[in-house]
Amino acid sequence: MDDPHDLFDAWYAEAQRLEPNDPGAMALATAAAGGAPSVRMVLLKGHDPRGFVFYTNLDSRKGDELAANPRAALLFHWKSLRRQVRIEGLTAAVSADEADAYFATRARDSQLGAWASDQSRPVDSRATFEARYLAMRERFEGKPVPRPERWAGYRLIAERIEFWTSREHRLHERRLFVKAGESWTESLLYP
């Protein structure tokens, strides 16, 4: 395949069938304004040629870091398939309509949790968080739960996508696609 998005689609479909644990789990690497790196696992919530989408609280550490420096990297590691995909590029906010549509598909408890959590901020005890969750459950009893204003999505717009396949004796295959205008160039890398 000459288009990395088509290749990702094929690999991701295979991972969804065969990877036993969270095929949509991806490591998201960001950096603070001063350059200090930070990485955590997030879930892929959509992908197409426009990019790879995930959601978070804008006031979380990753939200703060992406506001200061929109460059980021993703890593999918499908251990059982002996494959990984590395993606680098710029992030941009998804539209409010897109965020609303995705938020509406979340389980109600997850929606309430988004209201109750000041993600990445200190909390004095688990009991405090649970009390906030119960307060949100009461607040929205019998009503739809709207998306909190500070809960949104990002799309990582790929500039580089590398497909790594494990081979015996560390003779791995690495295919690198680099965005060049509206098209992609492909090359192989030594393992």
| Partners of 188 in beta bridges | 175
Q: Which residues contact 27 (CB under 8 A, 6 or more apart)?
A: 39, 40, 41, 74, 75, 77
C-alpha span between 95 and 38 (Å, rounded): 25
The values of phi and psi at residue 66, to 5°, are -70, -30
Look up 167 and say whether it is catalytic. no
* Percentage helix, strand, coil for the chain under 3-state DSSP, each rounded to 5: 30, 40, 30
Given the residues 150, 167, 170, 175, the one annotated as active site: 170
Active-site residue numbers?
170
